[in-house]
Every structure is written in C-alpha cells, then in structure tokens.
Structure 1
Amino acid sequence: MSKTIEIKSNIKNRARLKSKIFTKSNELVIENILSKEVKSIRMNFACHSLIVEFDSNITNLNRILERLNSIFDINKVVSKNIVKNKIKENYLTSCNSCKSCTLYPNEKSWKRKLFEYGALSVVAIGVFIKEHILMTALSPVAAIALGGLSVFAALPLINDAYNDILNKKFTLETFMAAAVLTAIFGGEISAAFEVIYILRGSRLFEEYTAEKSRLEIKNLIKMDVKKVYVQRGDVEIQINLEDVSYDDIVIFVHGEKICVDGTIIEGEAEINESIINGYSQSVHKKVGDKVFANTIVDSGRIKIKVDALGDETYIARVLGEVDKYLSLKSSSEVMADKLAKRVLKVGTLLTISTLFLTSSFTNAFSVMIMMSCPCATVLAASSAISSAITNAAKHGILIKGGIHLENISKADVFCFDKTGTLTTAKPIVVDYKSNLPNKEFFEILLSLEDKNSHPIAKAIVDYGNELGFKKLNNIKIDNKIGLGVQGKIGNDTYHLGNLKLMQDNKITIRQNKALKEQQNRANTIIYLAKNYKFAGFISLSHEIRDGSYQMIEDLRKRGVKKIILLTGDDELVAKEFAKKFNFDEVHHNLMPDEKAKIVETLSKDHNVAMIGDGVNDTLAMSKADTSISFASGGSEAAIEVSNIAITNSDPKDIIKLYDLSKFALKIANQNYLIGTSTNIIGSGAAMLGLIGPAGAGLTHIGHTSAIILNSSRNRLKQ
C-alpha cells in the first residue's frame, strides 16, 4: 500500500486529504486516532479521500498528519505536484522550506490563479456590456463557449459537491453546483456565469489574505544570521548557524543579533528585548540570565550556552501560536455559516414547492436562480463594507476584511500597548539640572555618550547638538555595562549613568525639587558626577503621541466599557503613565504570552480590540476580536497579524475608524432591507409565473444597483 498523502485543500479549519490508506478496512483505526483531534471526519472510499474539520484551538493539519504517521508510517506528503519527505518541514510556520512549501502557495500558482480570474473578469465585462448596455443577446456560438467556460470555472465547486453527495451530505455547495449546472443546461448561461464568477472571486480573496499573513510571519522569524562564533575548547571558531547544537557555547558582541535561546555563562551586556517583552529600554543581562533569539546586543560581550534553536526558540513558538489563531473563525463568520444553511433550506424548499404546486419547470427554475445566488445578502454587507474600506484607505487606515470593520464598533473593551502605540518609541529629554555651567555640563555629556549606540545616549547627544554644544577631545572612556560610563578629561573624573553606578562609586545624590519631581513621574534619570561628587542629572521620557488623551476620552463617550493598559514596563513607570490617561486597568511587566492570556480571558465576556505595534503584541492581537497595529515604525509581524493597520500611527484615526464602522453597519442594515424585500417579492413573482429566469436575473441587477448606490454614501463619510 502507498504511504503517500496528497493534500487536496487546507482552508479555514477544513482539510481534504487523499491516500490509498483511506479505505473501509482502515476506517475505524483512522476514526480512533483522530477522534480527539478533529470535530468531524468524512471518508470517501471510492476516491480514497478523507475530509476533516478541526478547531485550531485544539489541533492543526501538521498534528493530524503526525497522528496518521504514527500508525501508517507516512513517508511522503504531496501537494501541487511537490513532494516533501519530512512532514514537519511542510507545516511548521518557521520552517526553512522554499516557496513551494504547501502551506504557502508558490508564486507560480498565484500567478495562475490571478490570470484565470483576470480572464474571467474580461469575459464578465464583455457579457455585461453586450447584454445590459448594448442590449443584445449572445450568439449561439458565444453561448456555448460561455457555458463551457462556466463549467470549467465551476469544477472546484462541482468537485466539492460530488464528494458531499458521495458522503451523503447536502450542503450549500451541492445546491449551488446544482443551480449552476441547471442554469447552464437550461439555457440561462449568463446567470450561471454570474454565480460562479462571484464565488471564484470571494474564495480567491479569502485564501490570499490568510496565506499572505502566514507568509509574512514565516519570513519574520527566518533568521538572517548565517554564521556565528562558537567556543571549541579554548578556541573561538566561526561556523554556520545550521551547525550549532544544543549546549554549544555561542559568542555575541555589540551590535549582533542573538539567534538562539540560552543562558549567559560569561560576560554581561545591554540587550534590546523589545521584540520579546515590549520594554522601552535595553535590559542589563549578566551570568545566569536567560536570553532569547531575535534580540539585539546593544553593548557588551557575552557567551551563551544554547538551550533552544530554530523552531524551539521562544519567538518562533510565540509566532507559531499567532499563526494557529489566524485561521479561527470570527463570530460573524459562524453566523454567516448558519445563515447560509438557512438559505439552503429555504431555497430548496421553495424550488421544490414551486415545481410541485405549479408543475412548471420554468417557474421552479426561476425560483432556483433567485435563491441560488444570495447576491442581496452578500452585497448588502460587502458593498457597504467595501465602500467604507476604500474611504478608510484614503485616510491611511488599511482594513483587511469587512468583518474587522464590523467588529471595531462592537468592541466594548479596548486594550492598549504603551511604547510605540500611545507613545513614540524614541526617548526624548524632558528636563535637566546641574550645578555646572550649561556649556561644561553638555560638553561632558556629549563626550561621554558620543560613541554609545544606546537609544538614551543617542537622545542625549541629539539634544545637546540641538542646543549647539560640541563634544571634547582627548577623553578616556570606560564603559560600565548595565550601569553607564566612566570618563577622564584632564585631571577630572566623571561618572554618567544610573543610580546603581552612583551607589557603587559611593556618590551621594543630593535630592532637590526638580529631581524628586522627575522621579515621581517615573522618567528615566541619568546622573552625572564630577570627581565623585553629584553634579546634576538629565531626565528622559517617551513622548506621548499627539491625540492620545483625546482618543481615550472619545472612546469613553462612545460607550466603551473598559480601557486597559498592557505593557512590559515596570510597575512604577506603568502606573505613573496610566494616571495621565485614567485607565480602568493597568497590567505591567508582561511577557507576550501573559498579554495574550489577559486578552483571551477578557474575550470570554467582552468584544475586545487590541492595539499595539510590536512583535511582543502579536500573540495578544491574535487572541483579540479585532487587532489594530500602528504601522509607522511598527513591526512587520504586528502589521501583518493585525486586522487593521493605521499607517500614520495617529491615535485620532482610532475614533475615525470607530465612527466609520458604525456608519457602515447602518448602511448595511438598510441594504439588507432592500435586498431581502426584493428577493422575497421576486421569489413570489417567480412562483406565480409573473417573471421568468430572465426576470429573476433583472431583479438581481435592479436591487444590486440600488444597494451599490446606497453603499457609495460610505465614500463621502469624513
């Protein structure tokens, strides 16, 4: 028996697999090993296929394949004519496989799909012009060609319907396929083509948006470090990253990206861990401390004993979780599925009832055409939302789907990250005091910090330069990792750094009103001492984005129940910052998974919106009902994972987005009234024989035009 599995499809928590192992004799075995992993199992023994529906909270396709592999020893997984010999290599988000990886459609397949849909679009435009503008019927040859094209375009739908029938299921796909084929062979070819054209377009868009997000996440954690230095005995040698093993000793110095998880066994360093915890300043790490992949050594030199590599690193596991939650259905999508089932039942019942009551195939067929393509239901929301999305894009708000625009005005809890979201990521000088002359004070600061790449040092240097001061020459500098810097100019010794540097050198800090005020505000304070005596301080903070206060207040006015701060900053900084905004809750010292747990808990009882800008926010964003990223300076992962990206990072755009969502929903409800009423009237007229198949098509055109015209009001919304 072949040990090959072919993946026919994997979309929205539903996968269809094909293999010779899917036989009647293996049915019970397969059901037993997958029963706890999946929600439903359907097997088609005639074509050796298995269809599984699963919950991404519980499992994923990779795990399902591994379960099958544990029993049948699968040696190949085939998809799109590409053979992979390692199951994990195909499906792990952070794999190093090429563009042919089966979860990520390769460039050629997307070009083919876009070409096919582009060709269908050209035909659709031609048919529309001929029938509705020139008001001429298709010639027999053109009708036959269009019918053949419609059948070809409908093959995926027909194939799904065929499998459903074999498995004794009657779904919307079955009804739609029957309607399309009936329309084609009943002579209503244009109506059939319209139905299949809409379906192909919507499926292509859904697949593209989902796969693009996954591809961006995969690219993000693809390590750009190719070679590293490792210790072999008493010698440090350079090797390829792929040759690094667990328990190896890897060396990293100033400016390098750490590419493993591990424990420091020698040295100390200032490490930028904002990608992990969102903390606004570099963290001092010493022997015994843990470090993580994708963080950066701002200064210092460390030796790390490797604890985790590749897919096992913390950041890879976090983004793997993000990838899993990307495929979860929203509550609106679940409701849409229920509505589709109701449409199926009503449409089938009306069609059969019409045929039974009137004995007229034409009347029944007209009802089928009217009910088989729920254009009114689809367009009522989609046209209103699409119009609103276009309007938002003009204002620099990129919305990745209608459901996300709908959800934002339903959110009753808003969670905010701090650094980079409500504040800018760049520290700024807010105050300074010194008993030295200003010229000497800033000349010393510039001289000591000139070669330091730390963001705080750069902010001090930039501030001094703006004031017109210059650094001194002939200065001897000794960097104190995690503390600051010691320098000697002539016969004078200077210390510049944090409070611990002062304490270690027995320098007494003289309290004054200005210093106490900055300490109470939880700002970052850098102290200066001259010849072991306190000489002054300079205070820095992260600038609050213009409009942040007003945005929070406006959300409250619109009825938002809770506004919460989630940050990696320490308790003092977080609480002092929160006082300015009057947050309902403040959570500090958070790691990414801790942020996610808070959002997940809130989501059980509330509709939650999460606003952030960094990789550390992505897992929490993936758990929220709606996620919004500030794109200006934000991480690519946050932008791609988010449902909505605000390109200008303007807090006022949150309110603009909220109001646009409310207005779009109002328009959508009006459209539902237009579409539903015409569908009901049209179906009734078709049952009575007052309109035929052509009339059913014209009814679609009529209410479609009214809906689109009403939806265009969204484009005018400011």
Structure 2
Amino acid sequence: MNATLRIKHALPGRLRLALRPKSLLATAKNACANLPGVLDSRVNQACAALVVRYDPKRSSQTAIVEAVRAVMPGRAENRLPERKAPACVCPAEKPRSSVGRQLARFLSLTGAMSYVFVKEVVLKGTVAQTLLSPLGLVALAAAVPLLRESLRHARQKRFTMEGFLAAGCVAAAAAGQAVTALEILWIHAGAETLKAYVAERARRSISAILDLTAKNTFILAGEVEVEVPVSAVRPRDIVVLHTGEKISVDGLVISGQALVDESPITGRAEPELRTTGHKVFAGAYVRQGIIHVRAECVGDATYLARIMRLVEDSLENKAPIETTGDDLARRLLRIGMWTTLGTLVLTGSLWRAFTVLLVMACPCATVLSASTAISSALSAAARRGILIKGGRYLEEVGKAEVVCFDKTGTLTTNQPRIEEILNFSELSEDELLLWAYSAEMHNHHPLALAVKHEAVSRGIDPISHIECDFTLGKGVRAVFGTDVIRLGNRRYLDEAGIDTGGAAQRVTALGERGLTIIFLAKNDTVLAALGFANELRPDAAATVRELYRTGVSKVALVTGDTENTAVTLCRSLGIEECRHSVLPEQKADIVRELKNGTNRVIMVGDGINDALALADADIGIAMSAGGSDVAIEAADIALVKDDLADILYVRDLSRQTLRVARQNFWIATSTNLGGALAGALGVLSPVAAGLLHIVHTLGVLANSSRLLTYRPAIPLPAATSGEDA
C-alpha cells in the first residue's frame, strides 16, 4: 500500500493527520515528540489518525507535517491537501456523479438482456452464445471495466469481488454461456446503479441544507447598480448589498457600513458591524445598512462551497459495520470460488457449476447491506438538518456513555431576553420599558426585539417619537417633544457627552455574569441599565432526561460562566457534573479527562469557542452550525437547526441503522448460501439464480430505504418532535 498523509483538521496549536498505513503511526508519533514546541501527541488507531498539540510560538504545522513526511516511504507520492482558510483558492473540478454513468451501463445491458428474452422466450428462437458471437463480444466489452478494476487491485495484491466477477464472465463466455455472463454483469450493474443513486440522494439532501447564497445580486457598472445572477459575478466586481439581502460572495468591504447577521456562517447570535476593511462571507445577511463589497471569491471558490465538498466527503468515511460488510463479502467470494470448483469436480456438471458461480460470484446484496443503510440514514439526517461527516460517526454516536454540553448558544438559545433591569431613577420598571420600547419600536436588532418582547408581555404600548436615528453597532436616539432618549452601549453615551461613570460601576456585576449591557438615558441623565441574556432552550431539560434514560451514564456542563450561573443551570436541568469558569483550551482537557481511557464522549457546543473540545471528543456535535466553517471542520456532526432533540434523534437513528444493517446481512448471506446449495444440487437454474440475486438485492434496498423516513419510536421533546422535510 502506498503511504498517504492528509491533514484532517487544523487549529492553532492542534493538528490532526490521517496517515496510511497504520503501521506508520507509532513512528510518526515518535518523530513529532522530538520536535521543539510539541506539547504532546497521541495515536487513534480506529481512524488511522495522529493528533499533535503544540505551542504555535515555538513550532508550526509545516514543521510537524515535514517531520511526519520524513519518516514515510515514497515521499513524492504522499498526498497532502493543505487547509489555509480563509485563503481563496480555485478548487479542483468536482468529480461528476457516477449515477448517470452507472445508469447508462445498466440500461445498455438491460437492452441486451431484453433482446435475448424476446428472441428465446417470445420468438422461440436461439441466440449464439460463443465467445466470438455478437452476444459474447457484448459480454466481453461490458466486462472490460471490471477487468480494469481487477487488474488494478491485483497490482495492489488484493483479491476483490471485481476480479471474481471478471473471471466468471470471461469463463462463461469462453464456455459458450454468454447469456450467463450477461446475467452476472447485468445484476452487478443494477446493484451499482442503485448504490450510486442512494449515495447521490444523500448528497442532494446535504446540498439543500447549505444552499444559503442568493440567486441574484447587484453589482456596480460605472455609477449604476445592475442586477445580475450570482453566477455572473467575477472576482474584483463591486457588489452592492442592501438591507435584507443575502451576501453571495466572499469579499472585502470597501465603503459603507451595515449590521451583518453571520449566524448562518458563524452561529453568533448578534449581528456584527461591518465597515470599510472588514471581510464578509457568502451566506450571511445584511440586517441594516448598505455596503459595497469587492468580490474576492465567487461561486465554487467561496468557503461555503468548500465546506459543501467537505461534507459530501462524509459519504466516503466508512463506518466499522461497513467494513464488516466488505469483509463478509470477501469471505463469501472465497467460499464461492471453492464451492464452484467443488461443484464442477463432484458433479461434473458445467450447468450446476455456473449456477453456483452466478449465485456466489456477485455478493452485491452483502456489499450493499451496510452501505445502503448508512447512506439512507445520512440522507434522513440531512433532511432533518443534521450533517454527519460519515458512517463511523453515525455508528459511534449511539454508543457514547458521556455527554458534555457547553452553555451559551447550546443549552441557551440565540434569542436574547432582558435578564435584569438596574434602575438608577425614581421611575418604575414599566415606565423605563415604555421609554426603551418607544425608542426601539422601529429597530430590528435582536436586543431591540428583546426590549419589545418584554414590553409587550407587560401590556405596554409605545408612544410615537418625532425623530429617530440609529447608529449601527452603538445605539439609537429618539426625540419625544423636548425629551431626548438614548439607548445604547457605554461608548455611545460617552460620545453624546453623557456621564456613565457612576452607573458603569454598578453594572460590573452584570458583566461578570456574562450579560450584555445597554444603558437607557433621558436627556443628560442615565436612567437604567438593561442586562440581556440568552433564553434557556425549552427542550433542554427534556433532552437531558432522555439522554439518561437511553443509556448515557453521565451528563456534564462545561462552561466559561461563573459558578453561581453554572450551578443554578445544572440544578434546573438535572445535570450531575458541573465544570465552570473554564477557558476554551481547558474544555479539551476536561473532555480528555472524562474519556478516562474507556468512555466514549460526546461534546456538544456552538462550534466556535468549543472547537478544540469538539475536535478532541470521540464525537463532536456543533449546534447552530448552518454553514459554519469552524463548526463543520471541528465537529463530526453539525446540527444546522437549534434543536437539542436532534441529539436524541441521531442517537436513536444510529441504533436503528445498525439493526437494519444486521438484518440486511442475514437476508443477503442466507439467500447466497441457500442459493449456492440449491444450485449445486441441481434445483436452481442459472436464470433462477439471476432472479434470486435481483430479489434479495431489492430486499436489502427496500429494508434500508425504511431509514429514509425514519421516526423514533420514543417521542422527542415537544418543541422538536415534528419531522422536517
């Protein structure tokens, strides 16, 4: 096997490399241990990975990679795609789907088989089946792809199904049984077409999730804004983005300012102020303002498109049970080879031997048993808004014993609410909210919406203002007769000449609790400070309870929040272990501690500050990750929607997928062995053997297809129990 090296995941201070063959892992680990700046390294044999933690000030990714490459044979053949986000590199052309190619091959063989059926069954004629007859030449031509594949495997000293199939087809045609050869090829082509279709369906489901960019946009042509399709935008075009529009390119803001909602990209709750010199990315929204953006990456070169390709690669990441299916198919091939030879020797009947060959030479159903179940489950998860990087993670998530949760953005929502009001005046809270609501009544900022929600819940009606000015990223000023109301951050009030010194000292405790603070001022006097926090997700408590009930032995909260906040949350949700006041890099240490050498650990976070912990966990699950590059890179499973119940869904789906795969193994193996025995005894004809293949392959596919619309038998928390199409 040629040695290969690939960067699977990279963060400052941490590098995960995929290395083949596995025998090189220990050598590579030792090579890294001797490098200056390397803190520690560990080997994950299950996924052939080497994880290296290092001090970015003393070492680098390049130095580590070169050290690993130095101990690998055939360095020129090492494959190493570098990840240097957010650099904009034109990607290689995406491989075309194999569905069309496989379908064309299957239809061609179907035409040949239909000709034989009409000639022999309908017209009662005969068809020449010798090697050099038209039918024999068709069979040889159709076997060429299998012959090529088997030769490639033979050079790698591997015995595979393709080689057995190719040998069987050539032998059948040479023996004057060209129809038998065509049957083998037709069944194989049909199975490959169905397999490609299931995989393509999963890819389409995933693509639909990440289709976040707009279809049309505006570019500057001289001094005029012209609407064009996004596909027509080129690098260095000036794209004009208005309030409410999606950003369709990666680029640099060259003029204007706007509040940009990057939650589909980064998961951040609050819009960020973007002005000249700032970067913006495809998939984000302009909430307020107008900006001119010089396009740098367009179309397939945007990082959103690159993420799409990373997620599509999930279909190539095999689960252990898929490897089991491949091993079982290889064993059946060997059994089939000896059974065919044994039948020929013991019975002397070429007819019986070909029947056994036809049954055993094409264990398509066995190969498809696990792969179709996994692909169907990945597709079902994608339709629900769950991106799973591969079958291995789908299989492992149902076996985990420990689940760790981040707090902010995970157990809490991204919608802020007023947590506390510090009153510095003689007014009541309702009077303060009246002024705040009246000033913010036309604003769509999340904090303004929180003010409106609180005021409406108290039955407060706003009063009309004479004028209103918004300063993006700072605050709002509204005039009511002779009174001027300002609502904004400390900098906004300082710029207006309003002294916030005394008030600021009193709100220190709010800041220490992690609350977002804005001040309310009337004329030149600060009236109050409003502290905002994100709401607890309504399904959080039910999700924790269900995790315990479905086999999780420990649930832990791992958060940077203060002790009081964290402990109170744990008590309300029934979480038994609380780790509070931790820094992002400490979360990864806690995950490794909880593994304890034997436990499988799931880490659930927002995919940003939790990136290291997500990467170090056995299964990393990123919340609110609708296209977040950090989330999808660091996590193994990304929940595009804000549904904690999706964690329960994916665990239940994991277990059901394994059940279906095992059922498929029984269907495929029992019919293969039974058919071979019947063929050896002369009970089964070659035509009947072909029909047996079709029936049990369709049975496996039908059983796997149940997962496409799978609903858990256990009701999920009410907030998310419905199936999302």
Give, in angstroms, the shift of residue 444 of structure 1. Answer: 2.0
Q: Retained in 2: the 8 A contact 1:406–1:661? A: yes
Distance 1:286 1:711, change over 3 A: closer
Distance 1:256 1:417, change over 3 A: farther
1:471 aligns with 2:462: yes
For residue 628 of structure 2, the aligned residue among 617, 621, 624 is: 617
Question: Which residue number in structure 2 is paired with residue 161 of structure 1?
Answer: 147
1:496 aligns with 2:487: yes
For residue 518 of structure 2, the aligned residue among 519, 522, 526 is: 526
1:447 aligns with 2:438: yes
Give, in angstroms, the shift of residue 280 of structure 1. Answer: 0.8
Question: Which residue number in structure 2 is paired with residue 245 of structure 1?
Answer: 236
> Aligned equivalents of 1:404 and 1:570: distance in 2?
30
| Cα distance per residue 1:35-67 (max 9 Å; x no partner) | x9xx999xxxxxxxxxxx996x6489xxxxxxx
Question: Which residue number in structure 1 is paired with residue 31 of structure 2?
Answer: none
> Aligned equivalents of 1:391 and 1:324: distance in 2?
15
> Aligned equivalents of 2:400 and 2:411: distance in 1?
19
Give, in angstroms, the shift of residue 281 of structure 1. Answer: 0.9
> Aligned equivalents of 1:362 and 1:341: distance in 2?
24
Superposed, 1:246-395 pairs within 5 Å as 255=244, 269-285=258-274, 291-292=280-281, 294-299=283-288, 308-310=296-298, 315-316=303-304, 319=307, 322=310, 325-326=313-314, 328-332=316-320, 333-334=322-323, 336-356=325-345, 358-374=347-363, 377-378=366-367, 381=370
Alignment-mate amino acid for residue 447 of structure 2: I
Distance 1:390 1:522, change over 3 A: closer
Q: Retained in 2: the 8 A contact 1:446–1:461? A: yes
> Aligned equivalents of 2:516 and 2:164: distance in 1?
65
Give, in angstroms, the shift of residue 463 of structure 1. Answer: 4.2
| Cα distance per residue 1:614-663 (max 9 Å; x no partner) | 345355436654x2534xxx4xxxxxxxxxxxxxx643353244234324
SS at 1:447 equivalent: helix
Alignment-mate amino acid for residue 545 of structure 1: R
- Bigger mean CA deviation after superposition, 691-700 or 543-552: 691-700
1:200 aligns with 2:193: yes
> Aligned equivalents of 2:218 and 2:564: distance in 1?
38
Question: Which residue number in structure 2 is paired with residue 550 of structure 1?
Answer: 542
- Bigger mean CA deviation after superposition, 441-450 or 696-705: 696-705
Superposed, 1:359-438 pairs within 5 Å as 359-374=348-363, 377-378=366-367, 381=370, 406-411=395-400, 422-430=411-419, 432=421, 435-437=426-428
Q: Retained in 1: the 8 A contact 2:213–2:247? A: no
Distance 1:500 1:313, change over 3 A: farther
Distance 1:156 1:531, change over 3 A: farther
RMSD of aligned residue pairs (Cα, Å) = 5.9
Distance 1:209 1:40, change over 3 A: farther
SS at 1:226 equivalent: strand
> Aligned equivalents of 1:655 and 1:225: distance in 2?
39
Distance 1:299 1:145, change over 3 A: farther
Q: Retained in 2: the 8 A contact 1:596–1:621? A: no
Give, in angstroms, the shift of residue 308 of structure 1. Answer: 3.9
> Aligned equivalents of 2:295 and 2:343: distance in 1?
70
Distance 1:571 1:620, change over 3 A: farther
Q: Retained in 2: the 8 A contact 1:157–1:173? A: no
Q: Which runs of 5+ in 2 are unaligned?
A: 1-68, 84-88, 586-604, 714-725
SS at 1:225 equivalent: strand
Corresponding residue pairs, total: 591
Alignment-mate amino acid for residue 444 of structure 2: S
Give, in angstroms, the shift of residue 368 of structure 1. Answer: 1.4
Question: Which residue number in structure 1 is paired with residue 5 of structure 2?
Answer: none
Give, in angstroms, the shift of residue 203 of structure 1. Answer: 2.5
- Overall identity of the aligned pairs, in %: 29
> Aligned equivalents of 2:207 and 2:380: distance in 1?
27
1:481 aligns with 2:472: yes
Q: Retained in 1: the 8 A contact 2:483–2:523? A: yes
> Aligned equivalents of 2:162 and 2:463: distance in 1?
77
Give, in angstroms, the shift of residue 522 of structure 1. Answer: 2.9
> Aligned equivalents of 2:379 and 2:111: distance in 1?
23
Give, in angstroms, the shift of residue 227 of structure 1. Answer: 0.7
Q: Which runs of 5+ in 1 are unaligned?
A: 1-35, 42-52, 61-87, 93-100, 131-136, 231-235, 635-648
Distance 1:406 1:212, change over 3 A: same
1:536 aligns with 2:528: yes
| Cα distance per residue 1:419-453 (max 9 Å; x no partner) | 77644443344555654246643432232112223
SS at 2:535 equivalent: strand
Give, in angstroms, the shift of residue 523 of structure 1. Answer: 3.5
| Cα distance per residue 1:520-575 (max 9 Å; x no partner) | 653434331223333234444433332223323433554558878899x9999997
Distance 1:140 1:308, change over 3 A: same
Alignment-mate amino acid for residue 199 of structure 1: E
> Aligned equivalents of 1:449 and 1:314: distance in 2?
36
Q: Retained in 2: the 8 A contact 1:264–1:286? A: yes
Distance 1:584 1:557, change over 3 A: farther
SS at 1:473 equivalent: coil
Alignment-mate amino acid for residue 612 of structure 1: M
SS at 1:245 equivalent: coil
